[in-house]
Structure 1
Amino acid sequence: MLAYIKWFCSISLLSMISGCTTGKPNNVEPITNFDVNRYLGQWYEIARLDHSFERGLDQVTATYSLNTDKTINVINRGFNSANQQWQQAQGKAKYVKQPNIGYLKVSFFGPFYGSYIIFALEKDYSAALVSSYNYDYLWILAREKNISPKLLTHYLTLAKQAGFDTDKFIYPQQ
């Protein structure tokens, strides 16, 4: 019986981890014709759904650069006004499929990866709508600290159509 419980727990954990790695919400499809070189650099977080690892942070940025092994270096940074300190997390991203598809997996914790799905991206790479493996994670990112009300409305509409609860968005101060 103990062996069965261990086996069941192992299979359950493996299923959960693999779901986080390559899973995606229904109605969310990664963009094609993705060019990582145009995506590299600094992005400002315009809006996000709340989650523990960014809770209370403002002035949030994500900076992407290429590593020598062709993975992508990820640095997420934000200011916590409660304790008046900057917080930073460094990770790496890899492609889930081909490099021309905006579907990556990102790790900040060793071997554990989570989906990073770019499902809307401006032609000039000035703003993006990014999801993870379920409807609890969603970000609007931009190259500038602000986006036009028209673009924000467009991204909110896309997110809502995909099934995200956009009423729960947090708009961090930049």
Structure 2
Amino acid sequence: MKIIALFVLLSFIGIINAETSEECPLSPVIGNFDVTKYVGQWYEIEKFTSGFERNLICINAIYTPINESFIQVQNFGFDPVKNETSSIKGYAFVPNQEKPNHLIVVFKIKMGDLLVERPGKYDVWATDYETYSLVYSCRKDESTNKKVENAFILSRNKTLDSINLANLKKMLSSNGFDVSKLIIAQQDCE
């Protein structure tokens, strides 16, 4: 069984997410998605989320194989107000091998005095493994009947060329995502 899991990005998945009405779009299946090529470091370029990342800049994630089934996810960000780096660790896995680009990322989140495992979807919509990745997650909140979504445009470097950026935004837009909600991530930390 090949390595199946990965990253998140709560840092890239957010504990408190953005809510909108409407239905969640179907995530595309990348049948030949290879998580072993996906591991490594990714930088946020643009995003639509909150949670762990609130008030952080220079957010990046490192995905490291744990074994054939799991990947360690570690997200980092710098808090300029506190002048310190924050991080969160978790793990990821692929629950359905027929959809290898649809991962679940799990982070331990402090809820009062308890640490609670909090799973989140991490669907890779597009990647070339070497330059860019588009990650999207969506779930329907049954109590409000609204969709809760996250979107991340990621790069192996702290910047991404305008052609790839435009193509990834076009993919989001063609699936009903309002790209004007994306926030440009600050990546100018040393």
Moved more, 42-51 or 107-116: 107-116
Are 1:132 and 2:132 matched, yes or no?
no
TM-score, scaled to structure 1: 0.79
Deviating more after overlay: 58-67 vs 110-119: 110-119
- Does 2:182 align with 1:169? yes
- Superposition pairs for residues 25-174 of structure 1, below 5 Å? 25-68=24-67, 70-98=69-97, 101-109=100-108, 110-122=116-128, 124-134=129-139, 136-174=149-187
Per-residue CA distance 1:63-120 (angstroms, 9 max, x = gap)? 1011136311000101111221111000000112117721110000244311110011
Instruction: Indicate the structure (1 or 2) with the bigger Cα radius of gyration.
Output: 1
Q: CA RMSD in A?
A: 1.9
Where is the strand percentage greater, Structure 1 or Structure 2? 2
CA distance in 1, matches of 2:157, 2:89: 22
The runs of 5 or more residues in structure 2 that have no matched partner are 1-22, 109-115, 140-147
Deviates more, 1:24-33 or 1:163-172: 24-33
**CA contact under 8 A between 1:48 and 1:171: conserved in structure 2?**
yes
Instruction: Name which of structure 1's ranges 98-107 and 37-46 shifts more when overlaid on structure 2.
Output: 98-107
CA distance in 1, matches of 2:96, 2:25: 18
**How far apart, CA to CA, are the structure 2 residues paired with 1:30 and 1:140?**
18
Structure 1, gaps ≥5 residues long: 1-23
| Structure 1 counterpart of 2:169, one-letter code | L
Q: Deviations over 1:21-67 (max 9, x none)?
A: xxx93142232211111101000111110312212211110110111
Instruction: Tell me how far 1:160 sits from its aligned partner.
Output: 1.1
1:132–1:25 CA distance, 2 compared to 1 (3 A): same
- Change in Cα spacing, 1:100 to 1:36, as seen in structure 2 (3 Å) is farther
In the TM superposition, residue 150 of structure 1 has moved relative to its aligned partner by 1.0
Q: Percent identity?
A: 31
Whether the aligned pair in 1 keeps the contact of 2:31 and 2:98 (CA below 8 Å) is: no
Give the paired residue count.
150
- Secondary structure at the aligned position of 2:167 is classed as helix
